[in-house]
Each structure stands twice: as structure tokens, then as C-alpha cells.
Amino acid sequence: MNFIDRGRPIGVFDSGIGGLTVVKRLASTLPNENIVYFGDTARVPYGSKSNSTVIEYSLQDAAFLKTKNVKAIVVACNTASSIAIKSLKQKYDIPIIGMIEPGTEFALRSTKNKKIGIIGTRATIDNKAYSKALKKVDKKLKVFEKACPLFVPLAEEGWVEHKATYEIAEEYLKVLKKKEIDTLILGCTHYPILTKVIQKVIGENVKLIDSGIAAAELVRDEINRIGLLSHSSSLGFVDFFVTDIPKKFKEIAELFLSAPVKEVKKVELEEIWHY
């Protein structure tokens, strides 16, 4: 492998800003890698759409990233990971890393009492991606699931500690609070933005699983396996592309990444439809 191949960026996509929680983890695990981020902000949320729509959108998102010559694609969206990973892997011969596998492994390492809670979008919960993956490893696990669709707009709005967010979290999580879980999978990449509220409401003794942490390690292993880890000694940069520019994208991205975001480029949906 030559220097140019190693310098190719890692592609990351999500329906909106949620994937930034994964970018943050990638940037600390792989600080010298360049990243191209694609947020489909014009079509968010994916979590309330049908499986066929999620597959169609995910293939278009990945195709856009491929035009940027990415060396791997991180599906930084649990909804897309639950539904479209097979189609993506069939279409591309570069590593495609989803959230379910690393999140599952992380949760299995964390639980002591074998009672695991999972929160995610309606699509992720209905498709039972996490519960199937967990039970495959350990049939005796007790798994409790709850869809929390309103967490996505709250995160997109930047209401990270708003009174309304607390109230909604209380309502969603009250069923899980009764189940004595010791581990809670944040099965949507938007949810780590609301970590403070979720942790407070579910209780400090419950370990929250942010799949992005484990995913970043898997990305490093995968690109190392194909010999494409960057050898650069300078800090990598992130190029941001979105299908609509909500005023808050830059603000929330900066808040969440704790770094200035210079430019967010808009991609026309028309362009995406052609892929």
C-alpha cells in the first residue's frame, strides 16, 4: 500500500447530527485520520421510516461517500446498521462498520447481572437488532427494549439538559427503571448527546453503552487489517457534508466535538437521488 492510499479518508454517515458522537470517538482513537462526514439532515429521522426507505437512503449515503474515495465506511446510525448493513456490505468491497456488533460486545463486557436495557429508534427496536445479537451470544440474558423516538429531535435541537428532555426521559425510561438493569445500550447515535439526562434519570449505577467508543476501535482494527492505517503525523481533519443546513448543525457540532467547525457544505438531494 502506498502513502496516498493510507491518506484516504474514512467515510461516516448518519441521518443527521447523531454520527458526530461517533466522529468524536474516531478522532480520539485515530487522531491522524481524515474523515468525511455525511449527515442526511434533509431526510432525518430515519427511525420512523420503513425498512425499504432506510435501505435506499443508506445506499445513497454510502454512494456519496464513495465519490470522496473513502477507504472504509462507518454506518454511524443504528437504524441504518440494523436494517441496511447487509445491502451495504454486498455492494462495497471496502470495510463497512456498523454500530450493532461493537455495541453488543461492549454491553456483554459490561453487564454483571445479565440484565440489559436497550433504547433506540422505533425501527431499531422493532427490528430487534441488538436483542438478537445479544441473545445469539448468551441465551440467558434478560433484555428489555424501549423505543425513544423523541430523543432524536431533542438532540437535533440541542436540548441537552432542558426540563422537557428530563420529563420525556422520565416517561420513556420508567419501564426500564423497574427492571434492575445494570447496563443500558444507547442504541441510537443521537443519544450520547443526551447522556447527562439519560444517566441521571436511569440512575448512576447503570452503565451507559456508547457504541461509538467500541466502533472506533473496530474501525482501527479493520483499516489496519487491510493495511490502510494513516502514517501521517499531523492531525486529521473532518469535512462536513449535509443535505440541508439547519442553523444548529454547526453550533451543535462545535459544542459536541469541542472544536471549531469551519465549513459545512450542502449537498443537493437531487445529486444523492442519482446514486
Q: Which residues bind ligand DGL (CB under 6 A)?
A: 14-16, 18, 44-47, 77-79, 121, 124, 152, 188-190
List, in order, residues 6 or more apart from 213 with CB less than 8 Å away: 25, 106
Smallest distance, ligand DGL to C-beta of residue 7, A: 28
Asked whether the beta carbons of 168 and 139 are under 8 A apart, the reply is: no
Taking the least distance from each CB to ligand DGL, the nearer of 145 and 228 is 145
Nearer to ligand DGL, 147 or 229 (CB): 147
- Is 209 or 229 the residue whose CB approaches ligand DGL more closely? 209
Q: For ligand DGL, which is the closer residue by CB, 189 or 230?
A: 189
Quick one: 46 or 106, whose CB is closer to ligand DGL?
A: 46
Q: How far is the CB of 205 from ligand DGL (least distance, A)?
A: 25
Concatenating the DSSP letter of every residue in the chain gives --HHHHTPPEEEEESSSTTHHHHHHHHHHSTT--EEEEE-TTT---TTS-HHHHHHHHHHHHHHHHTTT-SEEEE--HHHHHHHHHHHHHH-SS-EE-SHHHHHHHHHHH-SSSEEEEEE-HHHHHTTHHHHHHHHH-TT-EEEEEE-TTHHHHHHHT-SS-HHHHHHHHHHHHHHHTTT-SEEEEESTTGGGGHHHHHHHH-TTSEEEEHHHHHHHHHHHHHHHTT------SPP-EEEEESS--HHHHHHHHHHHTS----EEE--HHHHHT-
- The residues assigned a catalytic role are 77, 188
